[in-house]
Structure 1
Amino acid sequence: MIEARGVGLLKATPVAPVSIHAAVDLDVEEDQRLPKPHKITILGQSLPLFRRVKSPHYAVALMQYLKAGRQIIP
């Protein structure tokens, strides 16, 4: 079962174990246009951490990140 904000509880079929590649903190809003990378440790694994962005393209941007990564600007 998945809790989707603004949608409700969604049914989901379990699958085999998968890897986690990033986390999104929906409680904290990102205020930088080009933010420095954030990290979080979950179950001993260090993961990139993204913060909430109020934009209609945010979900698509996260999907593109998962497909190809991102360029870090020093």
Structure 2
Amino acid sequence: MNNQFQMGAQVNTERVVVDRNRITGGGVTAGIDFALTIAGMLCSEDTANWSTTLHLHLESVHQKKQVRNWYKLSKIWEHR
């Protein structure tokens, strides 16, 4: 690892790092952040913000649907 520091490497704990012509993500959980960063660079910040809003909305709709399904299952289970 010391060899990396001798060559000028710097440790960074950010989820997404843009360094000159390279973009790297901090692992599997940073995938959405990585995609939004690229969308912001290729399109615009407004596009990235819209994508974030859409993702959060769809995620909440999905969670509400799961809650409804669990509620239905619990009612079915009560009647057994």
The structure richer in strand per residue is 1
Bigger relative CO (Cα 8 Å, ≥ 6 apart): 1
TM-score exceeds 0.5 = no
The structure richer in helix per residue is 2
- Band the TM-score falls in, shorter-chain normalisation: under 0.3
Which has more radius of gyration?
2
TM-score of the aligned structures, taking structure 2 as reference length: 0.27
